[in-house]
Structure 1
Amino acid sequence: MRILSLLLGTGLLLSIVACGSTNNVQPQLPYTPVNVALQLTSQQYAALRNVNGAVVLPSGSSGRVDGGGIKGIIVVRQADNTYRAFERNCPYQPYSACALVSLDPSGLFMKDTCCGSQFSLQGQVTGGPSGLPLLQYNTSVQGTQLNILN
């Protein structure tokens, strides 16, 4: 009888903890195909010639994203021939119209002014309510071309 009570109590405690943790679950970003090629020698992407240099590929006026992704892409040069490409749609409340990540004018981090989330140049959360890092796309360099894919 004592074992049964202990098992029931443990089960009840686990179900309460499990139910309470669902409040921290963030919705997933919708899937969208990404297939972008940037010519690194272009003056348009001159910032990518320096480590920690970044460029923003904005969304187009017709709702179509010129740079791919959901709301555009931020590309950051991490090191020689190493680039990271991040979705601009903030993972915290991604269906909000204002959930848009931008490069801070300092160039030292990325932020979403809507929810206040901040992200490192590696896409990790450094502040604000987001519990998830930025969605990262695959990158590869072939000669002077940077390819961004998912």
Structure 2
Amino acid sequence: MKKYIFFLLALPLFLACSNDDFNNSNRYLPSYNFSIPIDMSLPLYSNLQFTSNPVRITTDGIGINGVIVMNTGSGYRAFEASCPNQALSDCSVLQINGILAKCPCDGVEYSLFTGDATTKVEFPLKQYRVEVLSSTAIRVYN
């Protein structure tokens, strides 16, 4: 009987644990840990205060080929600036084209709102986490 009572008391603790369902695995792109605060009051990042204005961040140690961050209107999204369906090479750096990112290796375009490709491919864009710190600051991390 004591085992059942213990189980009933422990059950809410197990149910309270959450998995953020954040899958970042891609066989072409390695995962590196990084964290970068972004102050949108600085001119370099001021476009992020407005919807649909992606910004590429190429600071050393941030992602593989940098990070593309965009304000979607309902939050911020950050993606790796490398083609997700190609082995790393000279042509695997994404090019920003409005609200799309295009891979010059294979010509595939990806939405910066969702990270999904406009055609059928194996992997979407590699997404990174974004934490809103204040009305003018966010943190992108992996």
> Same-fold call, TM > 0.5?
yes
Matched-pair contact (CA < 8 Å) for 2:28–2:88: no
Map of 2:116 onto structure 1? 124
Structure 1: which 5+ runs fail to align?
Answer: 1-25
Q: Percent of counterpart pairs with the same letter? A: 30
Deviation for aligned residue 1:120: 0.7
Map of 1:55 onto structure 2? 55
Matched, 1:79 2:73: yes
Match of 1:88 among 69, 81, 87: 81
Deviation for aligned residue 1:83: 0.4
When residues 135 and 101 of structure 1 are mapped into structure 2, their CA distance, relative to the original with a 3 A threshold, is: same
What's the RMSD between the two structures over aligned residues?
Answer: 1.8
**Larger gyration radius, structure 1 or structure 2:** 1
Structure 2: which 5+ runs fail to align?
Answer: 1-25
* Bigger fraction of residues in helix: 1
Helix, strand or coil: the match of 2:77? strand
Matched-pair contact (CA < 8 Å) for 2:132–2:138: yes
Distance (whole Å) between structure 2 residues aligned to residue 131 and residue 49 of structure 1: 32
Helix, strand or coil: the match of 2:46? helix
Q: Which amino acid aligns with 1:86?
A: F
Matched-pair contact (CA < 8 Å) for 2:53–2:99: no
Q: Which amino acid aligns with 1:96?
A: S
Deviation for aligned residue 1:93: 1.6
Deviation for aligned residue 1:49: 1.5
Helix, strand or coil: the match of 1:45? helix
**CA shift digits 1:68-113 (9 cap, x unpaired):** 0011000010115x10000011111232232111211xx1311111
Map of 2:5 onto structure 1? none
TM-score by length of structure 2 reads: 0.73
**CA shift digits 1:53-77 (9 cap, x unpaired):** 1101125xxxx34xx0011000010
Map of 1:148 onto structure 2? 140
Map of 1:17 onto structure 2? none
Distance (whole Å) between structure 2 residues aligned to residue 38 and residue 95 of structure 1: 26
Q: Which runs of 4+ in 1 moved over 2 A?
A: 94-97
Map of 2:100 onto structure 1? 109
